[in-house]
Amino acid sequence: MKICTFDGGRVGVVHDEAVFDVTDIFFPDGLNVPWPYPRGDVVVERLPQLRDRLAERVESGAERKPLEAVKLGPSVATPGKIIGAPINYQPHIDEANADKEINHGKTYTRIDDFGLFLKANSSLAGCDTPIDIGFTDRRVDHEIELCAVIGKQGRAISYDDALDHIAGYTIGLDMTVRGKEFPDFRKSPDTFAVLGPYLVTADEIADPNALDFELTVNGEVRQKSNTRDLVFNVQQLVEYASHMYTLYPGDVIMTGTPAGVAPVKSGDRLVATIEGLGTLATAVK
């Protein structure tokens, strides 16, 4: 099943290039969520118990909108945290170590020497919102990444249990200002966490560690790899992250980017595709 957010706070099921509005199934009494708000995303949290009703809505031939006619929001609207893996493909580690504008004097070794970082929730954007780099004249790079979305709360999750904690997957762009500041700062400007076009539930992805993916900029292939080349695969990332903090439904793990990162400029058209997850097309403002 494919779940999207659209038109400013609506929830949809995507089927055959059409969007079925299912906001009323998730929020029958409106947004009746007690304060303090949950640390997770309530749509992702409620998804397992509502799947039958969502499927019925699609099968009943209910009203729908063409996918291209809606404004897509981020695949997860309110993740409690957006977790990033900084160096998780060896060819990207090699290119970072060869480029002073990326490494700023650091030598990258292994992911578990550097840990993970967090992107601010305010950096989230859907693919129909242009990426805004107008606030800086610094180098801003694209990074295509497979994103795993947590479905079940857990702490210290074992490798063997990790996939049971994943609701689904989506495509992410971890946009990055290059520089020597902490990654959390450089990767958190508004619109720098693009998630789209929708969340694909885990049952549709046989093996998240064997997915072809690529990113083109203005039609030219810039990044192309397969998730089998991840240093820490999806299960290891869940295990590693949850050893440090509790993972909640809706939390997003951006799994890292392969080689080929490069600057973007105003007017660029970015098209990211991951096997089974559709195509995220966006633009730089």
Give contact residues for Mn ion (rule: CB under 5 A): 143, 174, 257
- Comparing CB distances to Mn ion, the nearer of 11 and 96 is 96
Q: Give whichever of 128 and 174 is closer to Mn ion, judged by the CB atom.
A: 174
- Rounded to an integer, what distance in angstroms lies between the CA atom of residue 98 and that of residue 264? 19
Q: Are 83 and 116 in contact (CB under 8 A)?
A: yes
Give the CB-nearest residue to Mn ion: 174
Concatenate the DSSP letters of all residues of 163-191 into one string: GGGEEEEEEEEE-EE-SSS-HHHHT-STT
Instruction: Report in angstroms how near the CB of residue 64 gets to Mn ion at its nearest.
Output: 35
Could you identify the residue written with the tokens 């559709």? 278
Give whichever of 23 and 209 is closer to Mn ion, judged by the CB atom.
Answer: 209
- The least distance separating Mn ion from the CB of residue 282, rounded to whole angstroms, comes to 16
C-alpha span between 267 and 285 (Å, rounded): 6
Nearer to Mn ion, 143 or 239 (CB): 143
CA distances from 244 to 30, 152, 156, 240, 261 (A): 35, 16, 8, 7, 28
**Least Å from the CB of residue 87 to Mn ion:** 9
As measured in angstroms, the least distance from the Cβ of 53 to Mn ion is 36
Listed residue (254, 79, 241) closest to 172, CA to CA: 254
Is 253 or 284 the residue whose CB approaches Mn ion more closely? 253
Cβ 260 to Mn ion, closest distance in Å?
12
- Cα 120 to the chain's mean position, in Å? 13
d(CA 251, CA 147): 10
Which H or E element spans position 254?
strand 252-254
Q: Which is nearer to Mn ion, 153 or 227 (by Cβ)? A: 227
* Cβ 47 to Mn ion shortest distance, Å: 26
